[in-house]
Every structure is written in structure tokens, then in C-alpha cells.
Amino acid sequence: MPWYIYIALRHLFPKGKRFPFFTAMSITGVALGVAVLIIVPSVFNGFQAEIRRNLANAYGDLRIEGRTIIGNHRQLTETILAEEGIKRAVPYAHGMVMMQYNDRPTFPLVQGIDVRSDEELATVASHILEGDIDDFYDDSVIVSSGVATALRLRVGETAMIYNQQLLEQLTRDEVPLPREVEVAAIFETGWYEVDENTVLCTLRFMQELYGLGEGVHGIKAYVEDGYDPDRVANNLNGKLDINLWASSWRYANREMLGILEFENRMMFFLLFIILIVSAFSIMSSLLISVIRKTREIGVFSSMGATASQVAACFCLQGVAIGIVGAAFGFALGFSLIGVREEITTAISNFMGVAESMSEFYGFAYLPIDVQSEDLTRIAILAIAISTLAGVVPALNAARLKPVEALRSE
Amino acid sequence: MNSPILAGLGLRKNFRSGSKDIEVLKGIDVSLNEGEFISIQGESGSGKTTLLNLLSGLETSDGGEINWAGENVSKFKINSLARKRRGFLSLVFQSYYLVPEIDALANVAMGARIAGLDLDWRSRSKTLMERVGLGERLHSLPSTLSGGERQRVAIARAMCANPKVILADEPTGNLDEGTGDAVIDLLRSLCSEEKIGLVLVTHNNAHASMADSKYHLKDGLLHKEA
């Protein structure tokens, strides 16, 4: 090992029982910066991934909609299924109704589901809290946990549904009769927006409620793994009637996704400042070290050390602090990620904010998504900044004239 | 007659003090043959350390010429001089200047490692530690050694670079008389065994008298004493 690497390591990690205070402080600075850079973006990525997944689940990969109600949805479904990359397409109808139980009203969003689609039923079945998907038929509904709570509804009980057609009947002085529906099941997805105010019914029931006849509001399509929904939507748009259009969940939610992406970039930039701060702490530690070691530098020069070797000795200390600090930062970051639930529970209990988390973000747990490219970027940044922090002290050391170094007090 | 291994010819050095130039060295001629031992004495501030710095190339002169093994190195740049010093010239200081973070053996080895000598510096530094009587203290940190032991480690470090010349600047200045005598005895005997030229700057008459040639620096001029 060249002498300047050996001395650099010994300056940082001296032999004996002496605690390397400056080294410990510098490494701690980098480690904390790296840990924060790992934890915060991973949590943000986790939130974003969860939001994306919820958006995609609710929207489907693609939706094909028209200017008016789509009447020939079976033929259209066949056309869509013929497109490369599409594995499933199901018609849907949706809208808002008034639901009433024991004089308590609520205004949920109603989704009409094609019960001929096993996948649609399986998706619903996977979120059922109470009741059975087998009891789901044309005069029954599956309500979200929020609706069940608001109306004090239980499985097997009957509620009334009022739709817009009844209002039209009122204007014609006719007596509107609401539809009676039995609650077949109660579901919860974990996504607040859906769980708060959704009712599922069969597509046929929805068609009756809204007077759609055989028509639907649109067709949801799902793409095969590896296919880009945006590209498939573009291809499909080239083949659809001019009054129909396909849009991916990403396109439909582009503003929300754009905000999330912008937030992510800004957050990384702001957290990057932490690393800059730790770089200054490294630089000041190494500058102090150069001052403390001035005579030692003079002795090395008198023994034949060149300016570049002296510079390397101090610059390498910055590199070593960066590498060790990044390693500790990774260990600390992943350890804290491992106990994130315990930490968030403790914080939520202390501040009483558990409810607001599910209200604002749609889920009560702390999702995490650690991306390997982020980790690579963080490691490179930490080591590069620490190295740069070592350059100024190294140049100071290299500029010292041997005789002046030896004379220094 | 052999040419000297180290020579200073007409060396001059001025220092600026305020608006005034002070001429510390006024044209000094000095030479050292292979294996020769010379001592330099003088009042504090007479320019002894400055003379050693000029001879070792750590400081540039304002006039005159310095020859190392017959080569004029007066115009060499700092880095070239540093390379040239490797395996040719070592220094021993009054304050030892050991690296506190590494043990005695590693300090000794630094001499050979920095010089980049193509030799087994591990075994050479161990041998030298034994020769300076510290075979039992190989892995002691400098902070646990006495002043005399530290200076012996510094001498072993200077020797480890396999030099032709050692310049010692008041190496006993921080030591008591008995320890100082032992250190000078050791330095003199090691240089004699390895045919290393030794320039000793000292205030101690007894140590100076051990030299083959004895010089006195006064008023910027070097006088050889009988």
C-alpha cells in the first residue's frame, strides 16, 4: 500500500484507544445525509407507487369512452380485444345516486360491474370485508365500508336508491318510486377515496337505473405485462371511430402524476443540500487536520514526499469518509426503513395524526419503494461530494513549503 | 581525493524584517565527505538551522551553490528536490516529529516507504529498531515513549531511508544530559558503521567535540575550529 494511503487511513482511524472524534463527526454527517436521502425518497416513492396503483386499479389500464352512450359495446369490446397487448376488456357504467336507509341519506358513486367477467368479480371479492360475492345479483349492491358506516347498513339489509330519472318523473307530476336493493356485501380497498363513498351494482342494474338500455358509459381495458398503456391507447385511437377515444390511466391522471414527479425531484434537490452541509463539515475537519498536521507534512516533504503525494493523503481522507459514511448511511437508512411502522405508529400516537394520514393519502400504513437507481445515485453523490470536500484541504497541504511547514507553531 | 558527498559553496541567505534585509548567512563554504562527521555550533539565531535547511534543499539560498554527490541542486524545484532527497539525505529534528497515529515500527518504516526504496522495509525497520535498542517497543505508540526513545525512533527512521547523509538539528535539545549523550553515541556509531556523512548542529560542546571537524557559525560566517 502506498504510504500516503496508509497515512490517510491512520489519520482517520488511528491505532490504539484514541477515539477519532473528527473522523466520527465527519462520517456521522455523511451517514445522516445518506440515510435521509435513502429514507425520504423511498417513502415518497412508496406513497407515489401506492397512489399510482390505486389510480390504475380504479381506472383500469385504459378506458374507451365516447361523446355519447356507447350502444354497440359488445362489438366494440371485440375490436378492443383484437388490439395487440390487451388482455381483458369489460364494459362499465357509472354515476351518482341518492341512497337512503332509515331516513339517513348519502350520495355515493355507483359503479356498474359486468358480472360475466370473472376477473371483475374476483377483484371485488378480494376486497370484501363482510358478506359473499355469490349473493351479488341484479337487485343487490355491494357497499363500501364508508357508505355502510354512514347509513349504519349491514349485510342483508335493504336500502332505497333514488336516481336522476326519478327527478324527471317528479317534474312530470308522477310519483317516483325508488329502487329497493339488498346489501350483498361490504368491501374495503384501503384507498380512502373509494372506501368512503362507493356502491357497486351489476351493469344491468346500472343500465336500468340510468335508462341506458343496452348501452354503457365506456369500456375498461387491461394490458398484458410489459405493454405500455399509453402506447396501446395511441394504437387503439388510430383504429377507433372518430367519436370514440382511448385514454390510459396515466393520461387521465397526468396532472396528479406530474405534481408527484415534480415533488419527487424538488425533494431530492432539497435533501441534497444536507449532503452539501456534511461536505462542509468534512472540509472544515480536514482543514483543521491540515493545520494540526502542518509539521508532519513538512517532515514528509523532508523525507522525499512530493506535493501530489501530500495532496493525495488528504484528498483520500475525504474519499474514505465518503465511502465509510455512505456505508453507515445505507445501514442506518435500511434499519430505519425496517422499523418504519413502529416509528410512524409512535409518531401518530404522539401527535394523533393517524386518521389524517388515511384521509389525505388514502392509506393508513407507510408504503415504501426503494429504487436501485436512487441508491446508486446517492452513493455516487456522497462519495463525490466527500472527495470534493477533501480537495481544498489537500491543495492547502500540497501548497505548504517544507521549511515553512516545519517552522509552523 | 574523493569529491565531497555534500557541499555548500558561497551560501548566502537574507531575511526581511520590516523594511530591512538581514543577511543571516554571508557566503558559507562547507563540505562533507562520505562517512565524515562534522558539527556546527553557534549562538541562538546565528543561522545554524537555516544552513541545514539550505543544505537539505528545504529552503532556497539567495546566492551560492549546493552540490549533492557532485550534482548542483541549487536550481531544482521543490518536487525535484524531494525526489532527489530519497535515499540520499535524511533529517533528524529536535522535536522528533513522529506520526502520533502509528506505532514506533511503522514510524521507522515511513523513512523507507516515502523514499520508495526497493527493499524489505518491514524487516529493515525491525532491524533498525533493534539496533537503536527498542526491539521490545516495536508496537508502542509515540505517546507512550520517553523523549530519548522517541529520538531513537526518529534516528532509526532517518536510517531506514538508507541515506548517504544525515543532517541532525539539535537532536538532544529536548533531552537530559545522560539521554542526550546516549542518543549522540548511537547516532555517531550508526553513521560510522554505515558510512553515512553526519552534520550535527548542537549547543553541547562535548557532542560537538566528538566530530571529525568542528565548525562555529558567527556573524553569518562559518569558522573551522582546531
For chain A, say whether B162 makes contact (Cβ under 8 Å). Answer: no
Q: Do residues A245 and A65 lie in contact, with contact meaning Cβ atoms separated by under 8 Å?
A: yes
- Minimal C-alpha gap between A280 and chain B (Å): 24
Together in a domain, A260 and A403 = yes
Q: Do A166 and A290 reside in the same domain of the chain?
A: no
Minimal CA separation from B114 to chain A, in Å: 6
State whether A6 and B113 contact (CB < 8 Å).
Answer: yes
How many domains would you assign to chain A?
2
Domain enclosing residue A195, as ranges: 86-223
Inter-CA distances, B129 with B38, B77, B104, B125, B137, Å: 25, 34, 8, 6, 8
> Residue A95 contacts by C-beta under 8 Å, 6 or more apart in sequence?
A109, A110, A163, A164, A206, A209, A210, A217
Judged by CB atoms closer than 8 Å, whether chains meet at A306 and B83 is answered as yes
Quick one: A204 and A276 in the same domain? no
- Digit-coded pLDDT (tens) for B23-67: 888 888 888 888 888 899 888 888 888 888 889 888 888 888 998
Residues A108 and A213 in one domain: yes
Residue A322 falls inside a structural domain: yes
Residue A239 domain flag: no
Residue-by-residue DSSP string for A371-389: -HHHHHHHHHHHHHHHHHH
pLDDT digits (tens, 9 = 90+) for B110-167: 888 888 877 777 888 888 888 878 888 888 888 898 888 888 898 888 888 888 999 9
pLDDT at A141: 92
> Does any domain span residue A7?
yes
Contact at CB, B114 and A401, closer than 8 angstroms: no
Q: Rounded to a whole number, what is the distance in Å from the CA of B20 to chain A's nearest CA?
A: 20
Shared domain check, A97 and A45 = no
- The verdict on A5 touching B (C-beta cutoff 8 Å) is no
Co-location of A34 and A168 in the same domain: no
Cβ contacts of residue B20 below 8 Å, gap of 6+?
none
Q: Which of residues 87-126 of B touch A (CB under 8 A)?
A: 87, 90-91, 93, 95, 97, 99-103, 106, 110-111, 113-116
pLDDT at residue B183 is higher than 90: no
Same-domain pairing of A126 and A204: yes
Shortest Cα distance, chain B CAs vs residue A28, angstroms: 21
Q: Give yes or no: residues A187 and A114 share one domain.
A: yes
- Domains in chain B: ranges and CATH: 34-62+78-225 (3.40.50.300)
Query: Most A CBs within 10 Å: which of B68, B101, B143, as the mutation test of the A interface?
Result: B101
Q: Are residues A105 and A183 in the same domain?
A: yes
Residue A75 included in any domain = no
What the block records as the C-alpha cell of A373 is 437507481
| Average pLDDT value for chain B | 85
The answer on A92 and A26 residing in a single domain is no
Q: Is A71 on the interface with B (CB under 8 A)?
A: no
CB-based contact A15 B102, cutoff 8 Å:
yes
- For residue B93, the chain A residues in CB contact (below 8 A) are 299, 406
Q: How many CB atoms lie within 10 A of CB A263?
A: 13
Residue at a domain's end among A206, A223, A240: A223
What is the Cα–Cα distance from B80 to B52, expressed in whole angstroms?
18
A228: in domain? no
Nearest residue in chain B measured CA to CA from A304 = B82
Distance in angstroms between the alpha carbons of the first and the last residue of chain B = 22
Q: Do A302 and B103 touch (CB under 8 A)?
A: no
- The answer to the question of residue A231 being in a domain is no
What is the distance in angstroms between the Cα of A29 and the nearest Cα belonging to chain B?
A: 23
ipTM: 0.85
Q: What is the pLDDT of residue A353?
A: 64
Instruction: Examine the domain organization and report whether A402 and A263 are in the same domain.
Output: yes
Last residue of a domain, one of A223, A244, A271: A223
Cβ–Cβ below 8 Å for B99 and A296: yes
User: What is the biggest distance separating any 2 CA atoms in chain A, rounded to whole angstroms?
Assistant: 109
| Separation in Å, CA of B87 to nearest CA in chain A | 9
Q: Which residues of B touch A2 (CB under 8 A)?
A: 113
Facing A15 at nearest CB: one of B78, B103, B110: B103
Q: Which chain A residue is nearest to residue B91, measuring alpha carbons? A: A302
Does residue A105 belong to any structural domain of this protein? yes
Question: Does A248 map to a domain?
Answer: no
Question: Are both A167 and A125 inside the same structural domain?
Answer: yes
Among A167, A201, A223, residue at a domain's last position: A223
CB B28 within 8 A of CB B223: no
Query: For residue A404, what pLDDT is reported?
Result: 76
- Nearest C-alpha in B relative to A13: B101
**Mean pLDDT per 10-residue run, chain A (409 residues)?**
87 75 83 86 81 75 87 86 87 89 90 80 83 86 92 91 78 78 88 84 88 88 87 87 86 84 82 76 74 79 86 86 90 90 78 61 70 86 83 80 73
